[in-house]
């Protein structure tokens, strides 16, 4: 598959590079490194993401070149879609992106549905940025410090600083090479994990207080409502990582974070709202299967989905579903 992708990229002249909505470090790292690499090969490049770039990633070079406005990208002959298990993950631009002549899908999610004309999907890769690193070597790209910082950030964040189960030898080897090329781990860590706004700390307080424990202590549910976001003056990106508190609780095997995106659910449990649900597991349960039931996807130990529902229904469905998983409901 790599050969076909290399051919398609070599043939491309104007390339639109995109990654998923509400981008994380890997979505941004793979987007920037790919965009910069293709530019260095003399291609016309248009970098696109639907959502604003979280403040913690704005230290990366060329991040301001990522556009939220698709129009300029419209004379592209090729689109490279990164870190998206399905095309819907790019957001509202999906129909327009489908019209681009050649679609290349590069990803590392087990639930990747194989969209596009060419796919480079490797479930073993710790991050999409790892695949991009390999692709850059094949394309004989001269990796410069901005590309190196983007790749490093993608791998660092997607492995949870080399702690999650996707952490592999390549994560260390590639990051080591990027550091030898001049990436400063302390500088990156300070930006990515360094400071929290007061609002985020207050949100953390509300989020911790919202945690409920179900299924004999094996399922934890954290709920973030729009009301909490408004009260603390926080943005969706401030919810990133909060789920880890729910996952780390003793005995918990599956943690769910229900994040209200808009609507009026906080006015009462029965109102319908849009939610993003993040799921994490300690490794015993494959949460990508739970996400798939709701039309989402992800990895075995980290997955998610979006849904329109009332908060009460959503919680009830999650609890019911978790209760049917042998590891969770099993004899104890
Ligand atoms: P998070 O919970 O941090 O948003 O996402 C965890 C993992 O699940 C990530 O790898 C992410 O790409 C994937 N994921 C999150 N939401 C969705 C979704 O709605 N659809 C799919 N296919 N994957 C998702
Ligand atoms: Mn991602």
> What are the boundaries of each domain within the chain?
2-193, 198-329
Q: Give the up-direction half-sphere exposure of residue 118: CA atoms within 13 A in the CB hemisphere.
A: 18
CA distances from 327 to 44, 144, 321, 322 (A): 50, 47, 12, 9
Separation of 209 CA from ligand 1 center, angstroms? Answer: 24
CA distances from 19 to 90, 94, 153, 257, 306 (A): 6, 11, 15, 22, 17
pLDDT tens per residue across span 186-213 = 999 999 998 788 999 999 999 999 999 9
Reference 104, options 10, 236, 191, 226; nearest CA is 10
User: Counting atoms of ligand 1 from 1, which one is nearest the CA of 277?
Assistant: 2
Separation of 132 CA from ligand 2 center, angstroms? Answer: 14
**Sign of the dihedral through C-alpha 285, 201, 306, 33:** negative
Ligand 1 pocket test, candidate residues 302, 307, 308, 318, most atoms within 8 A of CB = 302
Question: Which residue's CA is minimally distant from atom 12 of ligand 1?
Answer: 298
Choose the CATH number for 2-193 among 3.90.1640.10, 3.10.129.10, 3.40.50.11540, 3.40.50.10880: 3.90.1640.10
- The pLDDT score that the predictor gives to residue 73 is 81
CB neighbours of 144 closer than 8 A, spacing ≥ 6?
A: 36, 40
Contact 104, 120 (CB under 8 A): yes
- The pLDDT score that the predictor gives to residue 76 is 97
- The pLDDT score that the predictor gives to residue 332 is 47
Verify whether ligand 1 is closer than 6 Å to residue 278 (CB atom). Answer: yes
- The pLDDT score that the predictor gives to residue 271 is 78
Ligand 1 pocket test, candidate residues 85, 158, 236, most atoms within 8 A of CB = 85
Reference 31, options 77, 75, 89; nearest CA is 89
Low-confidence ranges of the chain (pLDDT < 70): 263-270, 330-332
Which residues have CB atoms below 5 A from the ion given as ligand 2?
A: 24, 26-27, 83
Contact 135, 2 (CB under 8 A): yes
User: What are the helix (H) ranges across 142-225?
Assistant: 145-158, 169-180, 185-193, 198-209
> Do β-strands 44-48 and 14-19 pair in parallel, antiparallel, or remain unpaired?
parallel
> Do β-strands 297-298 and 302-310 pair in parallel, antiparallel, or remain unpaired?
antiparallel
- The pLDDT score that the predictor gives to residue 328 is 85
Q: Which ligand is nearest to the CA of 27?
A: 2
Question: Which residue's CA is minimally distant from atom 6 of ligand 1?
Answer: 303
Verify whether ligand 1 is closer than 6 Å to residue 302 (CB atom). Answer: yes
Contact 174, 133 (CB under 8 A): yes
Q: Which CATH architecture has domain 198-329?
A: Roll (3.10)
The values of phi and psi at residue 94, to 5°, are: -50, -50
- The pLDDT score that the predictor gives to residue 182 is 97
């Amino acid at each position: 598959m790599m050969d076909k992708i290399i051919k398609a990229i070599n043939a491309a002249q104007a390339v639109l590079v995109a990654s998923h909505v509400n981008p994380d470090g890997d979505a941004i790292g793979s987007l920037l490194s790919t965009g910069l690499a293709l530019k260095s090969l003399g291609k016309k490049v248009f970098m696109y993401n639907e959502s604003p770039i979280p403040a913690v990633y704005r230290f990366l070079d060329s991040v301001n070149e990522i556009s939220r406005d698709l129009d300029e990208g419209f004379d592209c002959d090729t689109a490279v879609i990164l870190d998206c298990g399905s095309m819907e993950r790019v957001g509202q631009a999906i129909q327009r992106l489908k019209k681009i002549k050649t679609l290349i899908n590069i990803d590392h999610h087990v639930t990747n549905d194989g969209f596009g004309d060419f796919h480079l999907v490797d479930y073993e890769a710790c991050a999409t940025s790892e695949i991009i690193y390999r692709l850059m070597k094949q394309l004989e790209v001269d990796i410069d410090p901005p590309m190196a910082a983007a790749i490093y950030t993608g791998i660092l964040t997607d492995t949870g600083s080399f702690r999650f189960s996707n952490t592999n030898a390549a994560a260390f080897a590639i990051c080591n090479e990027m550091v030898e090329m001049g990436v400063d781990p302390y500088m990156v860590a300070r930006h990515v994990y360094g400071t929290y706004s007061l609002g985020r700390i207050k949100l953390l307080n509300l989020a911790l207080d919202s945690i409920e424990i179900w299924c004999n202590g094996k399922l934890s549910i954290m709920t973030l409502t729009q009301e909490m976001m408004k009260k603390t003056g926080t943005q969706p990106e401030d919810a990133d990582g909060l789920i880890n508190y729910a996952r780390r609780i003793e005995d918990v095997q599956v943690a769910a974070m229900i994040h209200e995106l808009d609507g009026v659910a906080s006015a009462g449990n029965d109102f319908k709202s849009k939610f993003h649900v993040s799921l994490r597991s300690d490794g015993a349960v494959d949460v990508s299967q739970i996400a798939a039931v709701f039309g989402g996807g992800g990895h075995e130990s980290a997955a998610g989905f979006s849904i329109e529902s009332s908060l009460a229904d959503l919680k009830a469905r999650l609890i019911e579903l978790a209760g049917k998983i042998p590891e969770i409901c099993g004899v104890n």
